Amino acid sequence: MGRKITPDEDNELLDLGRVIHAQSKKAGVKELELGGSKIDLISREDGELLVYEIKKSSKFKEASKMQLLYYLLEFKRRGVEIAGELSYPEEKKREKVRLTPEDEAKLLASEKEILRIIYQETPPPYQKTPFCKKCAYLEFCVA
């Protein structure tokens, strides 16, 4: 993404994500682009703005939470304090998420590390992780 390379749009998990997203939309709920990110859903519930991140499963719960926390940080940078909610429709699970100072420090450290990698002349060597198996960018890493 840092090099403006898009994932394989025919990836079956991206397609499944689009279907889950479409099925999860409620009337009156708005989709939003924030910087380079696309927010799944945003709505007001009980007087509070909530950003939703919709996932197929909770298998990679920590990564999903970090993604949502990043969105909350982006809102904070724009002067908006907002809460989030992870939603796993197929599992009928939901989890409220709030940005803490510890989360913010972790995100800022991650941003610095990502920028360090982006500005290297060559990418780091491929290291297989649990995320790789179905990643829409896999062909770029192992080619």
Whole domain around residue 69: which residue ranges? 12-142
Residue 75 lies in a domain: yes
Residue 3 lies in a domain: no
Sign of CA dihedral 101, 103, 109, 111: negative
Please check whether residue 35 is in contact with residue 74, taking contact to mean a CB–CB distance below 8 angstroms.
yes
Residue 5 lies in a domain: no
Please name the helix (run of DSSP H) or strand (run of DSSP E) that holds residue 113, with its range, or none.
helix 101-118
pLDDT of residue 23: 61
Close Cβ partners of 141 (under 8 Å, ≥ 6 residues apart): 123, 126, 132, 135
pLDDT of residue 35: 73
Could you read off the pLDDT tens digit of each residue along the chain, which spans 143 residues? 676 776 666 666 665 666 655 665 554 555 677 777 778 778 888 888 888 888 878 888 898 999 999 999 999 999 988 999 998 888 899 999 999 999 999 999 999 999 998 899 888 888 888 777 777 777 777 66
Residue 2 lies in a domain: no
Residue 72 lies in a domain: yes
Residue 95 lies in a domain: yes
CA dihedral 78, 96, 115, 3 (to 10 degrees): -90
CATH number at residue 118: 3.90.320.10
Residue 91 lies in a domain: yes
Determine the residue type at 129.
T
pLDDT of residue 124: 82
Residue 7 lies in a domain: no
pLDDT of residue 100: 96
Instruction: Provide the number of structural domains found in the chain.
Output: 1
